[in-house]
Amino acid sequence: MNDRARALLESFSTLGAVDTTCHLGQWPFRLSAAADAASLTTRARRHGLSSVWVSSLAALFGFDTRTGNEACLAAADGDLLQPFAVLNPGEPGWEDELAWASEAGFAGVRIAPGIHGYPAAQAAGLLAACAQVALPVQMLVRLDDARVRHPRWPAADPSVPDIAELLIAREAGPLLLSGLNWDEWDELQRHLGGQVPPDVLLDLWHVNGPNQVADALAQNPARWVFGSGFPVQAPEPTMLQLAASTLSATVLDAIVRRNAETFLAVRP
């Protein structure tokens, strides 16, 4: 890393950013991609993060979600590390799991249709139920880039039309889409006639590119949040892209902190 990059990361660390997309546990396809509460806390302090939203990778890949969710709740402090429960609306009993997650004190819910193997639109009922208990929902559209995905992993990312169908069926409650790229966002807007509800947000880990990409976020700054995808993804590219942009201080603050805080504020 050169001096310019180090200076940019130092600048980013002054923003008090919220990282909306982190994971606890071991990514099964790369040994170095792992994080526990201690390593996430160390990284958060290094980069000046004010909050880190986490769920358990074991809840995505295990035979059940409860075991990983319990481990996440035990590891997260509820202050710097905000726990999100992974739920699977394709499995019977998700209503009971949601009731448990709400009572246990999770900050939000994550769903992963591509990993758990159900159409995204099938989550409409879960989204409605989450809205009833004031739990915001984050959809993990993908955790990795399909171009470098392990060839034996059968996960199929939900298509843009499938996501659009969910947004049409959705009744209420904020929704954060994690892992869409810029072209997919354009396509999603076209499917919805440009009428994407204002409480649907997107994170940035899969929107990396030249500086002009980050500068374009100023067109709709209320739509975006910072999310790194760590430890599956390296957080520094997104941090550097934002720090090197020409975004105003107000817009940058909205993207890295304020939008995420507003999204989470639905939880009393």
Q: Which domain holds residue 16?
A: 3-264
Higher pLDDT, 82 or 156: 82
- The gap from C-alpha 119 to its chain's centroid, in whole angstroms, comes to 19
Is the pLDDT at 268 greater than 70? The verdict is no
Lowest-pLDDT range, 57-61, 84-88, 167-171, 257-261? Answer: 167-171
Q: Which residue has the tokens 């993908």?
A: 142
Cis before 231? omega within 30 = yes
What are phi and psi for residue 130, nearest 5 degrees? -65, -40
pLDDT confidence tier of residue 148, bands split at 50, 70 and 90: confident
Of 73, 105, 50, nearest to 225 (Cα)? Answer: 50
Number of domains in the chain: 1
CATH of the domain at 185: 3.20.20.140
pLDDT of residue 78: 78
Higher pLDDT, 31 or 195: 195
pLDDT confidence tier of residue 267, bands split at 50, 70 and 90: low
Give pLDDT tens digits for 116-135.
999 999 999 999 999 999 99
Of 62, 48, 45, 174, nearest to 112 (Cα)? Answer: 62
Q: What is the mean pLDDT of residues 5-27?
A: 95
Give pLDDT tens digits for 202-218.
999 999 776 678 899 99
pLDDT of residue 8: 92
Higher pLDDT, 113 or 32: 113
Q: What is the mean pLDDT of residues 82-110?
A: 96
Is the pLDDT at 29 greater than 90? The verdict is no
CB 14 within 8 A of CB 201: no
CB 238 within 8 A of CB 214: no
Higher pLDDT, 172 or 190: 190
Task: Give the pairing type, strands 200-202 and 175-178.
Answer: parallel
Amino acid identity of residue 114, one-letter, is G
For 57, 100, 117, 143, 227, the CA distances from 70, given in Å and listed in that order, are: 12, 10, 22, 21, 23
**CB-based contacts of 220: which residues, under 8 Å, 6+ apart?**
none
Of 176, 196, 161, 160, nearest to 127 (Cα)? Answer: 176
pLDDT of residue 173: 85
Mean pLDDT of the chain: 93
Q: Would you state the torsion angle of the CA atoms of residues 249, 234, 58, 175, taken in this order, to the nearest 10 degrees?
A: 30
Give pLDDT tens digits for 218-262.
999 999 999 999 999 999 999 999 999 999 999 999 999 999 999
Distance in angstroms (rounded) separating the CA atoms of residues 240 and 237: 5
Indicate the SS3 state at residue 31: coil
Is the pLDDT at 172 greater than 80? The verdict is no
Q: pTM of this prediction?
A: 0.95
Tokens for 213, please give them.
């990409």
pLDDT of residue 175: 97
Rounded CA Rg of the chain: 17
Q: Would you state the torsion angle of the CA atoms of residues 14, 16, 18, 22, taken in this order, to the nearest 10 degrees?
A: 50
**CB-based contacts of 158: which residues, under 8 Å, 6+ apart?**
113, 114, 119, 120, 141
pLDDT of residue 211: 65
Q: What percent of the chain has pLDDT over 90?
A: 83
Indicate the SS3 state at residue 87: coil
Tokens for 103, please give them.
């009572």
